[in-house]
Amino acid sequence: MKHSLITLFLLGSCGWLAAQHTTKTPAVYKPVRTDIYKKGWTDFNKNGIKDTYEDPTATIDARIEDLLSQMSLDEKTCQMVTLYGYKRVLKDDLPTPEWKQQLWKDGIGAIDEHLNGFLQWGVPVSDNKNVWPASRHAWALNEVQRFFIEETRLGIPVDFTNEGIRGVESYKATNFPTQLGLGHTWNRQLIHQVGRITALEARMLGYTNVYAPILDVGRDQRWGRYEEVYGESPYLVAELGIEMVRGMQKDYMVAATAKHFVAYSNNKGGREGLSRVDPQMSPREVENIHVYPWKRVIKEANLLGVMSSYNDYDGFPIQGSHYWLTTRLRGEMGFRGYVVSDSDAVEYLYTKHGTARDMKEAVRQSVEAGLNVRCTFRSPDSYVLPLRELVKEGAISEETINDRVRDILRVKFLIGLFDRPYQTDLKGADEIVENAAHEEVALQASRESLVLLKNNENLLPLDITNIRKIAICGPNADEQSYALTHYGPLAVEVTTILEGIQKKIAGKAEVLYTKGCDLVDANWPESELIDFPLTPEEEADIQKAVNQARQADVAVVVLGGGQRTCGENKSRSSLDLPGRQLDLLKAIVATGKPVVLVLINGRPLSVNWADKFVPAILEAWYPGAKGGEAVADVLFGDYNPGGKLTVTFPKTVGQIPFNFPSKPNAQIDGGKNPGKEGNMSRANGALYSFGHGLSYTTFEYSDLKISPKIMTPHQTAYATCRVTNTGQLAGDEVVQLYVRDVLSSITTYEKNLAGFERIHLQPGKTREVTFPIDRKALELLNADMHWVVEPGDFALMIGSSSTDIRLNGTLTVFDPNQPFASENSGERTRISASTRMEIVGNAIDNDLSTFWEGNKGDYITLALPGSAKVDRVSIAFHRDGGAGADFEIQLSGGGGQFLTVYSGTITTYDQLLNFHFKGTTASDIRIVLGDDWVGISEVKLLQ
Q: 892 forms bridges with which residues in the sheet?
A: 898, 924
What is the SS3 assignment for 325? helix
Instruction: Give the integer Cα–Cα distance in Å for 104 and 78.
Output: 7
CA distances from 732 to 443, 452, 617, 694, 767 (A): 16, 12, 18, 10, 12
Cis status, amide bond into 641, omega within 30 of 0: no
What are the φ/ψ torsions at residue 843 (nearest 5 degrees)?
Answer: -80, -10
| Residue 127 CB contacts under 8 Å (≥ 6 apart), including other chains | none
Amino acid identity of residue 70, one-letter, is Q
CA–CA separation, 864 vs 111, rounded Å? 72
State how far the Cα of 65 lies from the Cα of 67, in Å rounded to an integer: 5
Strands 510-514, 469-473: pairing is parallel
Amino acid symbol at 724: T
d(CA 362, CA 345): 9
Handedness of CA 334, 340, 346, 352 (dihedral sign): negative
Query: Which is it for the CA torsion 30, 31, 32, 34, positive or negative?
Result: negative
Characterize the bridge pairing of strands 717-725 and 699-707: antiparallel
Q: Does the annotation mark 419 as catalytic?
A: no
Residues 6+ apart with CB under 8 A from 915: 872, 873, 874, 875, 889, 902, 904
How many Cβ atoms from other residues are within 10 Å of residue 559's Cβ?
Answer: 27
Strand partners, 599: 559, 619
Catalytic residue among 93, 112, 216, 342: 342
DSSP sequence for 659-700: -SS--TTTT--S-S--STT----S--S-SB-TT--B-SS-EE
Residue 770 has, within 13 A of its CA and on its CB side, a CA count of 7
- How many Cα atoms sit within 13 Å of 761 on the Cβ side? 27
> Rounded distance, CA 921 to CA 907, Å?
30
CA 183 to chain centre: 7
Q: 647, 644, 643, 645: which is closest to 660 by C-alpha?
A: 647
Please name the residue ranges forming H helices in 595-673.
Answer: 608-613, 627-635
In the beta sheet, which residues pair with residue 906? 885
d(CA 202, CA 133): 13
Rounded Cα distance between 602 and 599, Å, is 10
Give which of 524, 561, 578 is closest to 226, Cα–Cα. Answer: 561
H helix count then E strand count, the chain: 20, 35
> In sequence order, what E strands does 287-367 have?
305-308, 312-313, 316-317, 338-341
Distance CA 121, CA 88 (A): 12
Q: 292-301 and 234-249 helices cross at what angle (nearest 10)?
A: 30
Mutual orientation of helices 627-635 and 436-449 as an angle, nearest 10°? 50
Task: Give phi and psi for 930, each to the nearest 5.
Answer: -105, 0
Residue type, 505: I
Q: What is the dihedral of CA 403, 404, 406, 407, to 10 degrees?
A: 120
Active site residues: 342
